[in-house]
Amino acid sequence: NDEAARAANNGALPPDLSLMVKARHGGCNYIFSLLTGYPEEPPAGAVVQEGLNFNPYFPGTGIAMARVLYDGLVEYDDKTPATTSQMAKDVVEFLNWTAEPEMDDRKKMGWKVMAVAGTLFALSVWVKRYKWTVVKTRKLVYNPPTTKAVRNPSSPRTEVHTEGQGFLK
């Protein structure tokens, strides 16, 4: 309900925070600082408009959202102390998950890709090492052609024969 949200936040409609982690520079750190950055009193010399709250991490230092996290606000099942910083960390991690719910699946897929790539790499090393040894150790010998002058008594001219041309294994 937008009207109830405006009434609870001094007339300002709260933004959709599902992508705020990715939208803001600093992401998780910015939101954590924003949630934990409300001092008890603004520092001396800080000017805050009426209806706004001082937060040094918000641009302009005046924010319509009041402080929402206080120590002991919730009880954790595992008896973790409910400090402002712990609750802010939980909120930030949840917002991080809502921004990228497929991240866990991508990480699992990444492990599978790395396993397949490692197997293919090992196979290529084996092929290079053992299957190409014949090519790598082959010795090529060049025998230059030799010419012999052979005289045929029945022919008035001398014939030239060449032998040993080409490469031999």
Q: Point out the annotated binding site for heme c.
A: 65
**How many C-beta atoms lie closer than 10 Å to residue 100's C-beta?**
13
Contact 13, 2 (CB under 8 A): yes
**Alpha-carbon gap, residue 144 to 86, rounded angstroms:** 85
Tokens linked to 111: 């492990």
Q: What is the DSSP letter of 55?
A: -
Residue 2 sits at φ, ψ, to 5 deg, of -65, -35
Contact 39, 117 (CB under 8 A): no
| Annotated binding residues | 65
Tokens linked to 135: 């090519």
